[in-house]
């Protein structure tokens, strides 16, 4: 089972198998660089007056596949491979839903390298946000790709995206080069799903970017990256 790890706490649940509210959140705002605002990750750092402390470059591709037989109804299944540099690979399976998720089996490994359960809060305006619950598991490998299990009958979608990531003390700033010559920039922060942390992200990040001309997008990176056109 994709059992609840230490960083997932069951809040306000009646039984161990009832859906739990995650105690982790990722706040994000993303925009099409051609529609206004900073056009690159570096320009975004400058606008936010943030100092880069780390960076990485990645290649990302998504798969067409057969969802697991035990996948919950009404929940989106996602399978993604990410390559960092030339040698490090990561295969991630993710469930995404508009409601809290109960513990689920990881379809790609009995003992994955990482399990993550959080609520993704995407800012689409100064006071408007969209929420999605995500439960994911990841396998990492050096020097060679991680093959999806045969049960998923996975096939690469045939297009890839490139991503550059800068890290600061509190933020991740990503520049995505997506299929169809689309460039998206995203700023995100990991915190708790509290009103205080939502307000902090709004004041520290969203207000500044809106003043800089950003037009927030309500489309996810998965939606954009898996549209091979």
All structural domains of the chain, each given as residue ranges with its CATH number in brackets, are 25-225 (2.40.320.10)
The CA distances from residue 229 to 76, 179, 182, in Å, are: 21, 7, 11
pTM: 0.88
Strands (DSSP E) found in 7-106: 25-32, 54-64, 76-84, 88-97
Identify the band that residue 223 occupies on the pLDDT scale cut at 50, 70 and 90: confident
Q: What angle do CA 72, 79, 44 make, to 5 degrees?
A: 115
Looking at the chain, the whole-number percentage of residues with pLDDT higher than 90 is: 82
Closest CA to 209 of 169, 171, 164: 171
Identify the band that residue 139 occupies on the pLDDT scale cut at 50, 70 and 90: very high
Reported as a single tens digit per residue, the pLDDT across 83-135 is 998 889 999 999 999 999 998 999 999 999 999 999 999 999 999 999 999 99
What CA–CA distance (Å, rounded) separates 22 from 8?
6
| Higher-pLDDT residue of 38, 222 | 38
């Amino acid at each position: 089972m994709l059992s609840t790890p230490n960083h997932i706490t069951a809040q306000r649940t009646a039984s161990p198998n009832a859906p739990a509210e995650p105690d982790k959140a990722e706040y994000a705002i993303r925009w099409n660089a051609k529609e206004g605002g900073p056009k690159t990750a570096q320009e975004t750092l400058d606008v936010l007056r943030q100092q880069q402390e780390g960076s990485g470059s990645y290649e990302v591709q998504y798969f067409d596949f057969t969802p697991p037989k035990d996948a919950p109804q009404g929940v989106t299944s996602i399978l993604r491979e990410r390559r960092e540099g030339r040698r490090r690979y990561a295969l991630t399976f993710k469930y995404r839903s508009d409601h809290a998720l109960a513990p689920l089996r990881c379809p790609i490994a009995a003992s994955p390298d990482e399990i993550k359960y959080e609520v993704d809060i995407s800012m689409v305006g100064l006071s408007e946000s969209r929420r999605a619950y995500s439960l994911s598991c990841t396998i990492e490998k050096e020097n060679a790709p991680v093959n999806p299990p045969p049960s998923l009958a996975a096939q690469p979608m045939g297009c890839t995206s490139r991503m550059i990531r800068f890290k600061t003390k509190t933020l991740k700033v990503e520049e995505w080069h997506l299929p169809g010559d689309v460039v998206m920039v995203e700023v995100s922060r990991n915190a708790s799903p509290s009103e205080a942390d939502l307000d902090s992200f709004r004041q520290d990040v969203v207000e500044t970017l809106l003043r800089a001309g950003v037009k927030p997008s309500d489309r996810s990176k998965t939606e954009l990256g898996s549209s091979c056109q």
